[in-house]
Amino acid sequence: MSYQKLTNLQLDALREIGNIGAGNAATSMSQLIQKRVDMEVPSINIVDFNEVMDMVGGADRLIVGILFQIQGDAPGMVYLLFSLEEAESLVVQMTNNNNLSLSLETNDELALSALREAGNILTGSYLSALSDFININMQPSVPHLSVDMAGAILTVGLVEYSSMSDYAIIVNTKINNPGDDYNGINGQLLLVPSPDSFTKIFQALGIHENE
């Protein structure tokens, strides 16, 4: 079957996993920065690899990417992706410092460290929720952070897995601080499981390739 042709019920199950992960991540981040943080998952999509670059704004768009290897019983890769503007807004939320920059010329270490920690929290919480649901151990590696063109960042993982699999799961994530007057910070968590891992995830949802 095409994993893109999931029923609304199956997509709702994936979205619920995402919301559980987002809730856990919000709790952890609130404790870290000592102020309330809300997170939500507006949508989850199953996309063809060929669509991924367009969904992040094109190969030439400058983005922030935090890459994790998935370790354990269902290997793969996870990207946490933000536009440069969204990433800098997240840094401000975490540090209360408006003077930090992620530009290629500066790359403040405090800003990079804050984003790595945000990546650890978001990715770890989502993988934990997914692991609990499918009862398979999945752990994130140490994060690798890049500020670069989307094409350069995404090619690393997509080339490795595109020869074996056709699809990725995109979890659209929104981070809100109720005390602030802005529209929230939008990011995308791109889950790229190995083919065997993809099968395990969807079999847990009652979805089989021969359907």
Most confident of 2-6, 72-76, 140-144: 140-144
**64-79 pLDDT, tens per residue?**
999 999 998 888 899 9
Start-to-end CA span in the chain (Å):
5
Mean pLDDT of the chain: 84
**157-178 pLDDT, tens per residue?**
676 666 656 778 899 999 987 6
Q: How many CA atoms lie within 13 A of 170 on its CB side?
A: 21
Answer for the pair 108, 101: CB distance below 8 angstroms, yes or no.
yes
| Average pLDDT over every residue of 52-69 | 90
- Which residues have C-beta within 8 Å of that of residue 19, sequence separation ≥ 6? 40, 41
**187-197 pLDDT, tens per residue?**
999 988 877 88
| DSSP symbols for 141-203 | ---EEEEEEHHHHHHHHHHHHHTT--EEEEEEEEEE-TTSSS--EEEEEEEEE-HHHHHHHHH
Domain boundaries, the chain: 8-203
| Average pLDDT over every residue of 39-43 | 87
Q: State the Cα–Cα distance between residues 209 and 172, nearest whole angstrom.
A: 25
Q: State the Cα–Cα distance between residues 40 and 161, nearest whole angstrom.
A: 28
| DSSP symbols for 47-65 | EEHHHHHHHTT-TTSEEEE
Instruction: Classify the C-alpha dihedral 143-149-154-159 as positive or negative.
Output: negative
- % of the chain exceeding 70 in pLDDT: 85
Answer for the pair 39, 25: CB distance below 8 angstroms, yes or no.
yes
**86-117 pLDDT, tens per residue?**
999 999 888 988 888 887 666 688 899 999 99
Q: How many CA atoms lie within 13 A of 189 on its CB side?
A: 33
| CATH number of this structure's domain 8-203 | 3.40.1550.10
